Amino acid sequence: MTAESQAPEPEPESAQDVPDGAPIARRTLLGMLGAGAVGLAAAPYLQAAWEKVLAKASQADPTGLTGLLPNPGGFRYYSIVGSVPRKGETDYELRIDGLVDKARTYTLADLRALPQHRIVHDVQCTDGWRVENTPFEGVRLSDLLDDAGVAAGAEALRFTCFDGAYTENLTLDQARRSDMLVALRMQDAPITHEHGGPVRLYAAPMYFYKSAKWLSGITVTDRVVPGFWEERGYDLDGWLDGAERQKPAA
Ligand SMILES: Nc1nc2c(c(=O)[nH]1)N[C@H]1C(S)=C(S)[C@@H](COP(=O)(O)O)O[C@H]1N2
Ligand SMILES: [Mo]
């Protein structure tokens, strides 16, 4: 199934579900959200609640207009599909397969039992927004690759997501850097559903589109397979700056 066949058609005047369940015209919804932002900008303790409203609204918004609403926390919420199932303790799994000696499946508890690494780095989207000094924490991709054992002929990794649509890729050399994480925590708390929890990729030295949310699969491949945005013109390598790729990560 392709992402395009799943994408809802834009319906600018259609009714939308809002958090209280009442149908409301999109224009009204956006108006309400805009009005809410004015007060919230001055009340940092409401930031988390506001981010949830933004995330909820953007999931019901095929036009992407909610991405234009102000968010003092800096993050925008992206999903190429309208709704994503929630997964957690009992039903989350990460599968590693393809060109490996031993395919493996990890639960959240399995992932937590492995050595955790914390990285603080700026997050940068190609759309221009940036969030500085954002901590992410989780398991190194290289540790998972060592666990599975990379087989002869392996060149790259293909990431798949339980939204059923998004894909990403890294070369094997990129994936082995110490700043490539299978992240369980963001901003020193478990990753929220809105930010791609319970597990997302965090490719620290690259633009944020490389950091696949709702990560569910890692397939080791014999070549780079372009991901969702790469098929639409983005660079295969999402390096944040030219210098960074030269220096090996600490
Ligand atoms: N599964 C999935 N992962 C994704 C995306 C997406 O739409 N779906 N968008 C990417 C882009 S372009 C960005 S900037 C970040 C946004 O992460 P955030 O929603 O936590 O801010 O997720 C990346 N990973
Ligand atoms: Mo992005």
**Rounded Cα distance, 96 and 220, in Å:** 8
Ligand 1 centroid from CA 209, angstroms: 6
pTM for this structure? 0.78
User: Does 4 have pLDDT greater than 70?
Assistant: no
How many Å separate Cα 107 from the centre of its chain? 18
Provide the domain limits for residue 198. Answer: 94-246
pLDDT tens for each residue of 70-83: 666 688 889 999 99
Domain closes at, from 50, 68, 86 = 68
Residue 82 lies in a domain: no
pLDDT tens for each residue of 109-148: 999 999 999 999 999 999 888 999 999 999 999 999 999 9
Residues 23 and 115 in one domain: no
User: Does 40 have pLDDT greater than 80?
Assistant: no
Instruction: Please list all protein residues whose beta carbon sits less than 5 angstroms from ligand 2, which is an ion.
Output: 125, 208-209
Ligand 2 centroid from CA 126, angstroms: 5
177: left (phi over 0), alpha (psi -120 to 50) or beta: beta
**Rounded Cα distance, 166 and 80, in Å:** 7
Residue 146 lies in a domain: yes
pLDDT of amino acid 94: 98
Residues 124 and 209 in one domain: yes
pLDDT tens for each residue of 188-206: 999 999 999 999 999 999 9
